[in-house]
């Protein structure tokens, strides 16, 4: 069964004005679809065919650029859609809030550090919040479509929050103003889903 583009869990316009509808249509329907199509082409007839995406990424040969770029792209965007939503924003609660305070001092300090990881990523890439076995949190950033599941990225653990800072994620509405996109993005973060991923990954 080849990989398939997951449906968006909300309408394209649901994240406006933070993320405009046209950006969502192109980002999901064109960019993510291309990662899925090219991932399926890259694994067809290879031992990776039939494996789950997480299994593929964890065991990835990082010189396999087609699977690295497109498998990463498929995983990263699938996570990205899920951790956003309408009527979102605010702050996390429960065990995740405690872990954020333990790791970063406060939610505000975490947001500052995570935002800077995205803003200072040169070119294209992602900022990540990851949970380690036991529940400790780490923050990091990767270039291109790399992610913390892959070997030797300098990031580790299970990603529970990811921010896409490729220009395709924000350029139509924000042009070169990546910091404005990052600042606004917090109001569409679905903390319920991030909390669920934290509980599952700890």
Q: Which residues bind Mn ion (CB under 5 A)?
A: 164, 166, 169
With contact defined as beta carbons under 8 Å apart, do 38 and 66 qualify? yes
Residue nearest to Mn ion (CB): 164
Nearest-5° Cα angle at 132, 3 to 39 = 15
CB 130 within 8 A of CB 156: yes
Q: In the complex, what is the shortest distance from the CB of residue 103 to Mn ion, in angstroms, rounded to a whole number?
A: 26
Q: How far is the CB of 109 from Mn ion (least distance, A)?
A: 27
How far is the C-alpha of 128 from the C-alpha of 148, rounded, in Å?
Answer: 8
Based on CB atoms, which residue is closest to Mn ion, 81 or 104?
Answer: 81
Which is closer to Mn ion, CB of 26 or CB of 51? 26
Would you say 164 or 193 has its CB closer to Mn ion? 164
**Least gap, CB of 168 to Mn ion (angstroms):** 5
Minimum CB distance to Mn ion, residue 45 (Å): 28
Rounded Cα distance, 101 and 143, in Å = 27
The residue among 80 and 114 lying less far from Mn ion, judged by its C-beta, is 80
CA distance 74 to 155: 18
The contacts of residue 109 (CB under 8 Å, 6+ apart) are none
């Amino acid at each position: 069964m080849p990989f398939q583009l997951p449906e968006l869990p909300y309408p394209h316009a649901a994240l406006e004005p933070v993320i405009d509808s046209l950006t969502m249509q192109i980002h999901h329907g064109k960019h993510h679809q291309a990662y899925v199509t090219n991932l399926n082409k890259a694994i067809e007839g290879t031992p990776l065919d039939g494996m789950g995406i997480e299994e593929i990424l964890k065991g990835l040969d990082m010189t396999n650029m087609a699977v690295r770029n497109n498998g990463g792209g498929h995983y990263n965007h699938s996570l990205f859609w899920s951790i956003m939503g309408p009527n979102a924003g605010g702050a996390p609660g429960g065990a995740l809030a405690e872990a954020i305070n333990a790791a970063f001092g406060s939610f505000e300090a975490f947001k500052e550090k995570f935002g800077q990881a995205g803003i200072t990523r040169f070119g294209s890439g992602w900022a990540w919040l990851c949970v380690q076995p036991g529940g400790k949190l780490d923050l990091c950033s990767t270039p291109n479509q790399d992610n913390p599941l892959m070997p030797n990225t300098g990031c580790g653990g299970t990603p529970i929050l990811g921010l896409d800072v490729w220009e395709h994620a924000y350029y139509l509405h924000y042009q070169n103003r990546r910091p404005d996109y990052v600042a606004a993005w917090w109001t569409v973060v679905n903390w319920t889903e991030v909390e669920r991923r934290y509980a599952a990954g700890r």
